[in-house]
Amino acid sequence: MSRAASGGTEWPTLALLAATYALWALATGPAAALWLPLGIGLVALSVAQHSSLQHEALHGHPTRLRWLNTLLVAPALGLAIPYHRFRDMHLAHHNDATLTDPYDDPESNYLDPAVWRRLPRPLRLLLRTNNTLLGRMLLGPAISLAGFWAGEARALAAGDRAVRRAWAWHLAALAPVAAWLGWVGAIPVWAYLLGAYLGMSLLKIRTFLEHQAHARASGRTAIIEDRGPLALLFLNNNLHVVHHMHPGLAWYRLPGRYAERRTHYLRRNGGYVYRSYGEVFRRHLLRAKDPVPHPLAGER
C-alpha cells in the first residue's frame, strides 16, 4: 500500500523525522559538551538517518505535497550533497534496465573495463580496496565525494542550470545548520565534519551490495533480511528489491510486503539474498564482493 493509496500523511515518518532532528540537536549541543566522542557518534547516526529520510522524501513521502516533503528534509545536515542533486540522480538510478551500468546508472560503483585498464596501479589498488566493506566505509565517502564534486564542477562550468539551482538551494539549506552550529551548538567544526563523514560511512554499509552485475535486470538488486538497528537506520531499504519494485511504498510497509511475497521476490532476483548485515560483514569486511571493471560490459 503506497502513501497515495493510504490516503493521507504518513505519521510514522513525520515522527521519525522529528526524532532525528531532536537527536541531531542533542548531538551537537548537550552530548558534545558532555563528551565529544558521544557527540560525534550521535552526529553520525542523525546524519545517516536524515539521509534515509531524504530518500523517503524524494520518493513522495511523507505527504502528498512535493514542496512540503522537500522542506521537511531541507536542512543540509550531511553538508556535502545538494538534496535536489541526490533526488535527480537517485530517480535516474531507478531505471532498472540500466542498473550498474558505468555510464547510465549514476550510483554504479563499476567502471568501464577500457577505463579501468588505463588507470595507474595506485588508483586501481585504491578502488580494489574500496570494493571491500571496510574499504568502502573508510575510503568510500571520500572517493564518491571526489567523483561527485568533479562532475558537479564540470556541469557548473558548462552552465547547467539545474545543477546551478540545486547548489543555490543547497547553500540556503546549509544556512540554518551553520547558524545552529555557530550560535547554539557545542561541537567544534572539525568534530562535526568527522561526524558527517562517519554518517556517510554508515550509509555505505547499505549501498555496498545493493546491486550486482547480472544479465537480467531483475537479478541485479539484493535483499538483506535484517530487522535490527541498521534496518531502521536505512528505513528497510535492505529489502531493496521490494523498494525498487514499489518505490512509492512507505518504509514501514516494506517488511510486511516482503513477508507476504518472499518467495516471489527471491525468485525474481535469483536468490541474491543475505540473512543479515552480520553475514555481510563476515563475508565482505576484507573480501571484495565484485571486481571494479564491469564484468558484463561487453554484453550490455
Q: Does residue 241 contact residue 268 with C-beta atoms inside 8 Å?
A: yes
pTM, whole model, 2 decimals? Answer: 0.94
Q: Using the 8-state DSSP alphabet, how is residue 299 labeled?
A: G
pLDDT tens digits for range 223-253: 999 999 999 999 999 999 999 999 999 999 9
User: CA neighbours within 13 Å on the CB side: how many for 257?
Assistant: 22
User: CA neighbours within 13 Å on the CB side: how many for 278?
Assistant: 6
Which amino acid belongs to residue 216? R
Q: How far apart are CA 126 and CA 123, in angstroms?
A: 5
Q: Using the 8-state DSSP alphabet, how is residue 285 labeled?
A: S
- The number of helices, as runs of H, and strands, as runs of E, in the chain is 17, 2
- In this prediction, residue 298 carries a pLDDT of 61
Phi first, then psi: what are they for 211, rounded to 5°? -135, 150
Q: How far apart are CA 22 and CA 28, in angstroms?
A: 10
Q: Does residue 149 contact residue 140 with C-beta atoms inside 8 Å?
A: no
C-alpha cell at 85: 542533486
**Residue 246 neighbours by CB under 8 Å, 6+ apart:** 2, 254, 257
> To which residue does cell 543540509 refer?
76
> To which residue does cell 539551482 refer?
165
pLDDT tens digits for range 286-298: 999 899 999 987 6
Question: Taking the C-alpha atoms of 255, 259, 264 and 270 in order, what is their torsion angle to the nearest 10 degrees?
Answer: 60
Three-state DSSP state, 293: strand
Residue by residue, pLDDT tens for the chain (300 residues) are: 344 444 588 999 999 999 999 999 999 999 999 999 999 999 999 999 999 999 999 999 999 999 999 999 999 999 999 999 999 999 999 988 899 999 999 999 999 999 999 999 999 999 999 999 999 999 999 999 999 999 999 999 999 999 999 999 999 999 999 999 999 999 999 999 999 999 999 999 999 999 999 999 999 999 999 999 999 999 999 999 999 999 999 999 999 999 999 999 999 999 999 999 999 999 999 999 899 999 987 644
